[in-house]
Amino acid sequence: MVSSEQRRRQLAREKYERQMERRNAARTARRRRNTILGASLAVVVLAGGGALVGTGAFSSDGKDKSAQAASQSTEPTTPTRKPVAGCADPAPGAPNGKQWQAEPAMSVDPGASYTATLETNCGKVTIALDAAKAPHTVNSFAFLSGEKYFDHTKCHRLTTDGIFVLQCGDPTASATVPGGTGGPGYKFADENLTGATYPAGTVAMANSGPGTNGSQFFLVYKDTGLPPSYTPFGKITGGLDVVQKIAAAGTLEGAPDGHPMADVTFNSVTTTKG
């Protein structure tokens, strides 16, 4: 049952989303470059050995065709969300938005197994976390999930051309307002980058440069060629089909880089040992 305080926070958040939507409609595509690749990647190596140069969504100037069209439009329109099969309404609630000044103290055992469970409104995804190769990353993820930091947050970014990822973990993101800038208040160093690759099922940290890991991460739903700059810390062991279903529905904006058409929300995220 939703408390009056939860309802108040939800209404305030919805009001904020409407305000930000009107304010940012013409700048949606440009602001998406803040995470995963930003301006650092001009050439994307594809799984098949080719290259995608100047993809637009990840070009060095951050301007793609959708951004140019938006800037030329005098009356920006709001994209219409369509139902996605298998996705229900998210559970009521809002992100708690907690903040910390420093990375949490180590509490995970690098020699133990850990499993993350993402209960989304589109289905369950389970992840085998690699504490041996990425102990600080797994420790941070376990800490944040224990604090219910990810609960009620939305997966705010989907890419469908050259790079195939669903990005999540930003408590400030919404279904209609560009996210990609939110975090837990602390940052920590990269791990497990030597020889890192990103086949389907990989779970890795999003960042805005070396040593800027926080709470945002991405799920790779199709083999993706990326430089070894994003800490891999887990492998999807169940529910890859859920992510692929979300990807198949495309983006809200119809572009290869945008919000998922499915309003993907974490009803809960937990991490368990063993």
Comparing 54-63, 105-114, 177-186, the range with the smallest average pLDDT is 54-63
State the average pLDDT over residues 77-85: 82
Q: Is the pLDDT of residue 109 over 90?
A: yes
Here the tokens at position 84 are 């996605």
* Closest to 157 measured CA to CA, from 181, 184, 122, 124: 181
Comparing 16-25, 106-115, 169-178, the range with the smallest average pLDDT is 16-25
Task: State what percent of residues in the chain have pLDDT above 90.
Answer: 66
What rounded mean pLDDT belongs to the chain?
81
Secondary structure element (H or E) that encloses residue 44, with its range: strand 43-45
- Residues listed for the chain: 274
Here the tokens at position 243 are 């992510």
Q: Given this model, what pLDDT does residue 143 score? A: 98
Q: Given this model, what pLDDT does residue 106 score? A: 98
State the average pLDDT over residues 228-254: 97
Q: Given this model, what pLDDT does residue 80 score? A: 84
CA distance 253 to 246: 14
Tens digits of per-residue pLDDT, 133-164?
999 999 999 999 999 999 999 999 999 999 99
SS (H, E, C) 221-259: CCCECCCCCCCEEEEEEECHHHHHHHHHCCECCCCCEEC
Here the tokens at position 118 are 């993402």
Q: Higher model confidence: residue 59 or residue 36?
A: 36
Superfamily of domain 4-78+111-273 in the CATH hierarchy:
Cyclophilin-like (2.40.100.10)
Here the tokens at position 230 are 């994003």
Q: Given this model, what pLDDT does residue 16 score? A: 63
State the average pLDDT over residues 103-122: 98
Q: Given this model, what pLDDT does residue 67 score? A: 39
Is 52 within 8 Å of 44 (Cβ atoms)? yes
Sign of CA dihedral 26, 32, 34, 40: negative
- Going from N- to C-terminal start, the domains of the chain cover 4-78+111-273
User: What is this structure's pTM?
Assistant: 0.74
Phi, psi (degrees; rounded to nearest 5) at 247:
-65, -40
Is 120 within 8 Å of 267 (Cβ atoms)? yes
Q: Is the pLDDT of residue 63 over 50?
A: no
